[in-house]
Chains A and B, each alone.
Chain A
Amino acid sequence: MTLQQAHLEYVLRMGDNALILGQRLSEWCGHGPVLEQDIAITNIALDLMGQARSLMQYAAELEGEGRNEDQIAFLRDAWDFRNVLLVEQPNQDWAYTITRQFYFDAFNYYFHRALTQSTDSHLAAIAEKSLKEVTYHLRYSSEWMIRLGDGTDLSHQKMQAAVDDLWMYTGELTEMNEVDQMMIEAGIGVDLSAIKSLYDEKTCEILNMATMQVPTDTWMQTGGKNGRHSEHLGYILADMQFMQRAYPDMQW
């Protein structure tokens, strides 16, 4: 793998995380548990779509094959996506949606904070801009973790189930592959092993405040960063890409 390929894949991974989670959250549009949360969660979806757009514009530039951000988002198949498995997991109910969001936000916050120091000034600028949004996302999802975990017996039980079920997808967030190693050496990427301890600390802190048990399982799912996805991604892409596939180059 060349440095340029690794660079492209690194940016795509960030863009795919934002795009797929944004798409997932958009499914709540018009279905939120209350109007205020419907707006809040789709606001976060829009933030993520905006981040995905900047990242994919940059990816298109790095790729240098004349594609634009729409083609990168809508014309790749599942195995070309580099998002982590966590973000493609289904919404299920509010407990799952919030837990998935919290697990991702806690990582994304420390990741973006570190990425502002990247030697790639374009990526550092994107990180700087996104960090404000991500900081709010983490605050929002943390509040809901605490509110529902430390809420009624039923809300506690539902949250604990979501926390336990999604736990096995958290390992991949700070797992590193060849791309990470090359990006760290080039001064572009973030050392995820340094993020891991911050991540563990944050999840413990919030889960404790939410009176929930921190899962102790150590076996973790992996694959998304290398293009091996759960069956869910195909369904997401079918929804998301339908218009461009059925009516190529359509605009509105």
Chain B
Amino acid sequence: MKKDWPLWEIFIRSKNGLSHKHVGSLHAADAQMAIENARDVYTRRNEGISIWVVESKHITASSPDQAESLFDPADDKVYRHPTFYDLPDEVKHI
């Protein structure tokens, strides 16, 4: 039976205000079952308040072969990080 069930990627929102985060994958016959399986597999310990499921085949990933050209160019562009401002002392939580 299992070989017929597609793989699903599971995303859980742990609390309001945070975004859904990838937590893992599981097998299910359809989206409804994927949600229920995710509830039992990934939210048993109060991990979440909302679940997204996406069939794994719909995810397009960047190729590890291209990592150099994709990501290395950002290495020497420190000016893109907002670290060059003088912040007043009154400003908290930055």
Interface footprint category on B: 10 to 19
Q: Which of B21-73 contact A (CB under 8 A)?
A: 26-29, 32-33, 36-37, 40-41, 44
Min CB distance, B55 to chain A, in Å?
15
CB atoms of B36 and A143 under 8 A apart: yes
Min CB distance, A38 to chain B, in Å?
10
Question: Quick one: given A34-B2, A43-B44, are A140 and B36 in contact (CB under 8 Å)?
Answer: yes
B residues within 8 A CB of A66? none
CB atoms of A36 and B44 under 8 A apart: no
A residues within 8 A CB of B40? 36, 39-40, 43
Q: Which of A188-219 contact B (CB under 8 A)?
A: none
Q: Once A and B bind, how many residue pairs between them come within 8 Å at the CB atom? A: 30
Among B1, B29, B40, B41, max chain A CB count under 10 A is at B40
Question: Which of the residues A36, A39, A43 comes within 8 Å of B28, measured between beta carbons?
Answer: A36
Question: Which of the residues B5, B32, B36, B44 comes within 8 Å of A34, measured between beta carbons?
Answer: B5
- The residue in chain A whose Cβ has the minimal distance to the Cβ of B26 is A36
Interface flags for A50-73 (1: CB within 8 Å of B; 0: not) read 000000000000000000000000
Min CB distance, B84 to chain A, in Å?
50
B residues within 8 A CB of A228? none
Min CB distance, A180 to chain B, in Å?
34
CB atoms of B1 and A36 under 8 A apart: no
Q: In the assembly, what is the distance between CA of A34 and CA of B40, in Å?
A: 13
Q: Which of A2-49 contact B (CB under 8 A)?
A: 33-37, 39-40, 43
Q: Which of A117-174 contact B (CB under 8 A)?
A: 140, 143, 147
Min CB distance, B42 to chain A, in Å?
10
B residues within 8 A CB of A36? 26-28, 37, 40-41
A residues within 8 A CB of B33? 143, 147
Question: Which of the residues B5, B27, B32, B37 comes within 8 Å of A40, measured between beta carbons?
Answer: B37
Among A35, A36, A37, A147, max chain B CB count under 10 A is at A36
Q: In the assembly, what is the distance between CA of A36 and CA of B32, in Å?
A: 13
Q: In the assembly, what is the distance between CA of A35 and CA of B1, in Å?
A: 12
Min CB distance, A155 to chain B, in Å?
10
Q: In the assembly, what is the distance between CA of A34 and CA of B37, in Å?
A: 11
B residues within 8 A CB of A40? 36-37, 40-41
- The residue in chain A whose Cβ has the minimal distance to the Cβ of B8 is A36
Q: In the assembly, what is the distance between CA of A35 and CA of B36, in Å?
A: 13
Min CB distance, B87 to chain A, in Å?
46
Question: Quick one: given A33-B1, A34-B5, A43-B44, are A147 and B37 in contact (CB under 8 Å)?
Answer: no
CB atoms of A143 and B32 under 8 A apart: yes
Residues of A near any B CB (own CB < 8 A): 33-37, 39-40, 43, 140, 143, 147
* Cross-chain pairs A/B with CB under 8 angstroms, 12 sampled: A34-B5, A35-B27, A36-B26, A36-B37, A36-B40, A40-B36, A40-B37, A40-B40, A40-B41, A43-B40, A140-B36, A147-B29
Q: Give the top 5 A-B pairs by smallest Cβ distance, nearest first.
A: A36-B37, A40-B40, A39-B40, A34-B2, A43-B40
Task: Supply 12 further A-B pairs (C-beta < 8 A) apart from A34-B5, A35-B26, A43-B44.
Answer: A33-B1, A34-B1, A34-B27, A36-B26, A36-B28, A36-B40, A39-B41, A40-B36, A40-B40, A140-B36, A147-B29, A147-B33
